[in-house]
Amino acid sequence: MKKFAFIGAGSFGFTRNLVRDILSFPAFADCTIALMDLDEERLGFIKQAVDKIVAAGNYPATVIATTNRAEALQGADGVVCTILANSVDVWRSDIEIPKKYGVDINVGDTRGPAGVFRALRTIPVMLDICRDIEKICPDAVFLNYTNPMTMLCNAMQNYTKVNVIGLCHSVQGTAEMLAGWIGAEAKDISYLCGGINHQAWFLEYKWNGKDAIPLIREAITSRPDIYNAELVRNEMFLHLDYYVTESSGHNSEYNAWFRKRPDLIEKYCTHGTNWNPGLHAYILNEYKKRQTTWKDEIVKWLNEAPIELNRGHEYASEIFNAIFGDGTMFKFYGNINNKGYITNLPQDVCVEVPVLASKYGFEPIHVGALPGQLAALNTVNAINEQLAVEGSITGDPRKVFHAIVNDPLTSAVLSLNEIEQMVDEMFAANRDYLPQFKHVN
């Protein structure tokens, strides 16, 4: 009998889908599901949802709910993390302060000034979780879904002994999107991807064994609907020659090309058919609205939604099954410390590469060297992220400043002195949430 601990289980949709996937494997039908969250109301709702799934599948599984992390981790074989370290009232400043200085951020959960401060608040929490795992269930497999993925994984993999890897949707999601553009079925596509989270690159993309990259280029250049669907990423592909993972909304803020002037924001970041107008507006409007409607949506699902027991497309359950289930090997894309897997990115930065999961654990697959134009952009972002992690671990605000000084978008918009003022203001806004920076005013 295996045990799975969900830390941050109040992420209702994600937790219930992942539980469904885990229970679909015969090796896990009689497992224990430990749901842990600090929000007792959300915890109660997710317990009801998981109980509903267990009953629908007639599984001999056990479900427990607790606000005690140690209790959830006791005896765990697998751990999944989907926490949000702070409320919207805290992290809205990640967007609003840079915006005041002219750095127009769209999402802000991965890198750049917003991603860095989100990481500074979250890294201590993740390291506390890892210390508990080291003491309570040191052999557990820890799968992290919390952002900012690269900085959190860099901290956990470099400063703890936990067997942790980071998972994201962007590689498989982009692969499926591109397949649709060229009229292929996803099952007929094979690919090789490598880089850093949200900025990995399809180095190979084949349809039934034949190079399909020319078909992608043709679709983008001949069909305005496809070009407009992902304006930023399609422009990057047409000029850099390789397709990048994650959405245009995210990628617009990871480089210096699309958000440094109002006219560029208007041209590339406003009218695309898939465009997210920005987290800034989302924070002020939709998120606040959802704080009052989320219970209604969950109650409706609990009372009305039919239970779907077929497995979804998340990696986690397949990984667990490969390592300590029936042993079926599983290849996926994960975020892990670079030990020469990508030869022209720095050692020990967090990279996204193919990984084989088996009863032997995780075996990252060698990618080799990225094309120079891709490695240049990845390297700047990866080193900035590493500096931010070092700043968090040591409590050195100067490292945080230097992590943001070289951020491509920030440095395209602001002078050094302006960046320093912006970072100081962001530290002030986060004073109550960054105890590791005791000497920052």
Q: What is the DSSP letter of 79?
A: E
Closest CA to 6 of 103, 76, 101, 97: 76
Averaged pLDDT for residues 245-255: 95
Cα–Cα distance, 259 to 279 (Å, whole number): 14
* 168 assigned binding-site residue: yes
Q: What is the pLDDT of residues 389-423, one digit of tens each?
A: 999 999 999 999 999 999 999 999 999 999 999 99
Q: Please tell me the distance from the alpha carbon of residue 247 to that of residue 218, in angstroms, as a whole number.
A: 20
Residues 24, 14: Cα–Cα separation, whole Å: 16
The pLDDT of residue 188: 98
Q: What tens digit of pLDDT does each residue of 40-68 get?
A: 999 999 999 999 999 999 999 999 999 99
pTM: 0.94
What pLDDT, on a 0 to 100 scale, did the predictor assign at position 281? Answer: 58
Q: What digits encode the pLDDT tens for the residues 76-114? A: 999 999 988 777 778 889 999 999 999 999 889 999 999
350 annotated ligand binder: no
Superfamily designation of domain 3-90+107-166? NAD(P)-binding Rossmann-like Domain (3.40.50.720)
Max Cα separation, the chain?
Answer: 63
SS in 3 state form for 62-74?
EEEEECCHHHHHC
Distance of CA 304 to the CA centre of its chain: 31
Instruction: Say if 3-90+107-166 and 91-106+167-277+314-441 have the same CATH topology.
Output: no
Residue 198 annotated as binding site = yes
Distance CA 379, CA 318 (A): 31
Helix (H, G, I), strand (E, B) or coil at 13: helix
- DSSP track, 170-230: HHHHHHHHHHHHTT--GGGEEEEEEEETTEEEEEEEEETTEE-HHHHHHHHHH-HHHHHHT
Superfamily of domain 91-106+167-277+314-441: AglA-like glucosidase (3.90.1820.10)
Give the domain ranges of the chain.
3-90+107-166, 91-106+167-277+314-441
Report, as residue numbers or ranges, the catalytic residues: 169, 254
| pLDDT attached to residue 295 | 80
